[in-house]
Amino acid sequence: MSVHKWRRRPTKHFGEVWVPFAQIEVQGADDKFQAFSLQVDSGAVVSLLRRSVADLLGLDLDSGRRIEVTSVGGGKTTAHVHELLTRFAKTIEYPVPFAIATTEHVPNLLGRLKVFDSLQVDFDGTVEETRITAPWLKPKDRRIWEFLIETEKHILARWRTMELPDVARDVACRFINRSGQVLASAVGLMKLHCCYAAPALIRTMFELALQLHYLLDDPEARAQKYLDFTHITKFKRSSALAANPIGPISRAVAASPLRTEGEPRNRAEYDRVRPQFLKGKKKKNVWDKWYCMDARKLAEQVGWGGEYQVVYTACSAWAHGDPFSTEEITAHPFAGSEVTLQPFAMLVSGNGGSCPVVR
């Protein structure tokens, strides 16, 4: 990633304003790179340079394709197009077409062609910066992205085809909203080139999809069971905090004046719903999942047993540092984008095949 600070520039009617600039390096005829500071102009189709740049780079100006560049006001300038290797950061080099004008009376601009459509350019007005990074979706990562999109579509498709009672619709919406949040998180991480976190998010989306399928097989009863499980979680958490006042939060809970009234109420609700969630032959312990089974059995029940073995187990192995999932991590642990997803991608995509969870 390269970060470029904006500059203050005077205007005729609005005083000084912030203007995005980028510091780049362009390769000349002698293969050496020359540094330039260019105004970033998303409205310009092609990048533009002054006449003197051709001499600085040792280029034969007239050898480039002759064009006419039109300004916003309609004025025209003759220029010649040269494709030049451009360095945006140490690891980001791309051939970029530059229209080199036959005059000095033009600004040096960084336009869209082979820049905005090849790289990731982010304008951040809050800190007056432009960040330029390599594309956030590399070929090996595209299957992961497509998997997330197709999984979300799969979740939405069944939900939209069913007429649900109000209680079930409320619970289904929770799953749908959480799925959207997870997908948005995945997008944010991938744009930061942190796609190595994707398996944990994929596992979350897979679990959401399983639960939604399970819910929709008996929507009203299972939606109520899902809501009842709130009291299990609430009682367990509040009891654990109150019983172990060893930190500021737990001490505040234990000393709260609301405890006298709230604790019996939580206990009463817990006792009311508890029989639904007992497990084992002796029925003494309470499940930690509202659907009262482990994820593998849940997947088998909704017909996703195979997907569980391929997708969920691969994601879990990645999350728990299984040796197979980490064997391709060869870069420094803080290298970020250098960490690969190859073991997981191999399992999910089948070397480019269709994603197994999407039917």
Please give the structure tokens belonging to residue 109: 């601009």
Q: Nearest 5°: phi and psi at 256?
A: -65, 135
Inter-residue contact 86 to 34 (CB < 8 Å): no
pLDDT score of 350 = 37
Inter-residue contact 208 to 179 (CB < 8 Å): yes
Indicate if the pLDDT at residue 53 is higher than 90: yes
pLDDT score of 327 = 63
| 171-205 exposure pattern, b = at least 16 Cβ within 10 A, e = fewer | bbebbbebbeebbeebeebbebbebbbbbbbbbbb
User: Once rounded to an integer, what is the mean pLDDT over residues 34-63?
Assistant: 95
The amino acid present at 303, given as its one-letter code, is G
Q: Which residues contact 259 (CB under 8 A, 6 or more apart)?
A: 242, 253
CB atoms within 10 A of CB 49: 25
Domain definitions of the chain by residue range: 2-133, 139-349
| Minimum mean pLDDT range among 22-31, 44-53, 259-268 | 259-268
Tell me the whole-structure pTM to 2 decimals: 0.61
Q: Nearest 5°: phi and psi at 209?
A: -65, -40
| Minimum mean pLDDT range among 126-130, 175-179, 249-253 | 249-253
Indicate if the pLDDT at residue 342 is higher than 60: no
Using CA atoms, how far residue 269 sits from 23, 233, 259, 265, in Å, is 63, 11, 15, 6
The residue among 126 and 327 whose pLDDT is bigger is 126
Q: Nearest 5°: phi and psi at 2?
A: -120, 135
Distance between CA atoms of residues 304 and 298, nearest Å? 8
pLDDT score of 159 = 72
pLDDT score of 220 = 93
Indicate if the pLDDT at residue 349 is higher than 80: no
Report the CATH number of the 2-133 domain.
2.40.70.10
pLDDT digits (tens, 9 = 90+) for 119-159: 989 999 999 999 998 887 776 667 767 776 777 777 677 67
Using CA atoms, how far residue 307 sits from 24, 117, 296, 310, in Å, is 47, 35, 10, 5
Which is nearest to 34 in space by CA: 109, 73, 87? 87
Q: Which residues contact 98 (CB under 8 A, 6 or more apart)?
A: 26, 46, 47, 48, 49, 53, 81, 82, 83, 84
Average pLDDT, the chain: 84
- Beta-ladder partners of 90: none
Give residue 344's pLDDT band: very low, low, confident or very high (50, 70, 90). Answer: very low
pLDDT score of 57 = 96
Please give the structure tokens belonging to residue 227: 């809501």
